[in-house]
Chain A
């Protein structure tokens, strides 16, 4: 029996169709014009103990709704969820004891109190004994260096510090499964890296199952062995990350600002690159925002550095940016049949 068992899960919301403007708002007072938004439709998967699963999809795909149903906050309208054999919604209090949750957008700590007080309250709520508590806090102090923050009010913490504290809080009672809902949102590169290493460490030392939703494909690459992609409430892909890695891991977009940009620039650039790397080189040239040219490169076939070198020596380039492929592009590629 798997730790998390989800079958044909669905949830829809009724939303009032709001009209525009003040007049519209007044008419809405008496309106019964609802439409149904399908947030999650017929999703099934199983997750084994000790896995780290990336649960990804574009904005509004239904990720957070699924997480909220798995944590017992929202009631599913159809289908079944079992965590450790029990549906979380019906046994919320009991199930909460074996789960940890981090919401990247809000904190579960006491906003007005010093950090350490939140941990102490949570220690009592989750019935953690003193010895386990001390060990846990010691370990986190080692990993994240939290000790100097203890006496600070939560609301005075920086976003990165607060997230580290929230993660500490979610693992405090040694849960079997931890849900991380966009834990790296808004964080800088160094804090992100720290966060990833902590998550990995906890998964390995405690065999904690981790479900991670994120918009940062870097998180997924660094942490997950398996990913589940959903869009518009439907499951698009569930499987090994290696297959998907080819989709987003290898692709990079080189953004170039070329001097004297004109209609022929794209064409010339394309020709020069074909001349140098030949056809089937995995390079696509396209126009993006004003005066910027996008060159998408499949690193599996052509090294990015070679392309960059070639372009820099042959073109009057004034600015360069390298961008990882976006979540939306990944989903588009999945729709186009890239994984089938």
Chain B
């Protein structure tokens, strides 16, 4: 049975015990254990249930490629599903729960699926569940959804923190095994800035399990020296528990560092996502062992041979006392030898090859282990645990020659280089016939902007599986990387690594070669998704010949291990079924990340209140202290209204409007976009950007300007102020400032780069306050300072001076129809200026107002609002703003488009006002007017409401709308169906409801 053994366990500290729970049961392990090794040490091989058939599963691997042993870890706000027990480091108090079963791991009702599996071959769901139609949504799909999924969904907001980190290096080495260390040594010694990543907690990779001889000494000595040398170099950084997650264009790499998952009481961020810019990437990512495809290869206790060896050597645990080893290569003999030396039984090594004559088989035989060549596994017996192995001839059809009782099986189908990072950005692969794997084609790397390859592979990731070759390859990779980034690498001999020579692997894609359907339908390729050899064969039979079709039809390689164990075996079965070769079939696309990374790490610190940092005006504090009802406007927050005790929001808005129209109101307009445009060609540039003529604007004057897209549609507006001959201040909408600034820069940088103009977004450099109402001038005069009389500062005029001792830019513009000044002061004076206005204005009845009062007042005046009256389909002419479109200018953005036939149609939608028949009835937002029937047989809409309010000033509802040929419909009564059998009737009127002559603002 699975147990802790007395020998081995170099990574664990046997002197200490730590407690953890598994499905509520209290167990113990040692510091250094993974959750998987601790469970094996506690007699627990069964660790999970598969996705489709709910078959009992134990760990098949010992690393990040694990498809079976997935657990929910943590509790409450720290719970996370689908974590690999094979990489989760044990800590005191760790709470683990197994997944995808009901009612329990041992007794899972879902396992009925397995009994019925003959009815559930690949893609069966495409062929059934079709009648009756509604049954899919209401019956079949809910059942499938419930059975699918793996771990439970987290229910609470995440209690942990995450962060980003940025790094810039010359050479990034991914992988801290022998090859990665050697490559880093070479690049580091040459002087390059090197960052070395290792996804586990330990440097050394397979050297930790499989000692070799390096320069005549045990590899542990070399390892310690290499690490010490690297740690001594200032230009080298080593990070463990950090995975190279994805390679992107131009040497951009994401690194995923797990900072606290292994700690009991963690402080600080849990994960850190590194964004690394590097000139060269050395991938020393090693190789992954392939399973063998025989019936029952998924029974708990069947493991990859090297993984089993790792458990024994690194953690001192074993899944069983009697282990049958089955292989097609020499490497797996190391497992048999390690088990034997640990005092465990190896009843037989089944070698599918015709002969086993290398030093490793010899060593095994010398230890007294029985070796059977040309043999394989017909079937593994056992349900939740291996009970026996039935032996057959590999060449045959599975006739059982002998049944050998055992409680574990170590399998090895050969090794495949980890090529993911090489492939993420387009590195190509080549099929290596001798080693039966895809390896990177060094002549076709992913390329940078200059056509140079920027990823170099090292060691077994290159396909150099033997230690001696791997060391040479890694040294060359490190030197090449250093040389390519401008350093002079060493030319001396690389260290010599020596391990036992190995005889060639012999590809075995099906065991036995002529396996019956019964065996093939129990031989698993993709463990988690329960894809069997028979499924891939069925896909081929049904014409899913492309590897992508076969993958999607069978779900091969779509599990959380993304095919790390299954893909090559699956490709081989597909190729065989189609009568073609593996390289002809090709691989599916490798996509980042290498193994799944937490969403939390991707989001970093940007969550909650700082998800998108709120832009705040310099006067924000006052609003906050004075009952502002907030409204998000782009990235800003603005007071919608200031609601006093006992008021409804609507009452507050109406109070603010009435006061502004009779006394004086204050609006914090600081969020309004302000872009400074300066230079000899500033006027020329703005003539191109705006539909209006801006070059004719005199210094000291303001002009309302419109901006159109290339398609002639209005997208932003605002007042342009000519500060001086060569400088303009362009106001934009609050939401539009960043976009407009980017728009200006795009044109300047890509089209009109010959213009001598600079632009600068000065939105946040100024606080801006609109002082609005009949008593506005009186209020400003009470501050003392510059002359704001009608004579000195007429409507649409601009002056600079001081008000109440504060430097001020004063614009006489009005968005309310009242006498109005907008005053820009340096941002740092904003609050002081606001407070001064409130203090001096108290006697005048001054009262701040919010965005809703602003909106209602502008609608009372028939002023348009970008985003309400415009929606990307509206021209200035549609809004009766044709006066702001210059006829004299040779060109401006949108000019040509505005001449297109559809843009000058007389019956385009045009802006009108609406007066409902019942003055108390307010039209709903976005209500549509209908008349007749359209080409689809639906009621024809002839327009829609764009702004609609109850006007406290007019004491009735008012609305603006865009109506087909609206300008010619004055007095017409339109019908707005607003619900079932509910129609509101409204008369088309002039959109200017209040002060049509415009007398109030020009006083």
The answer on A and B forming one complex is no
The interface of chain A, by Cβ under 8 A from chain B, is none
The interface of chain B, by Cβ under 8 A from chain A, is none
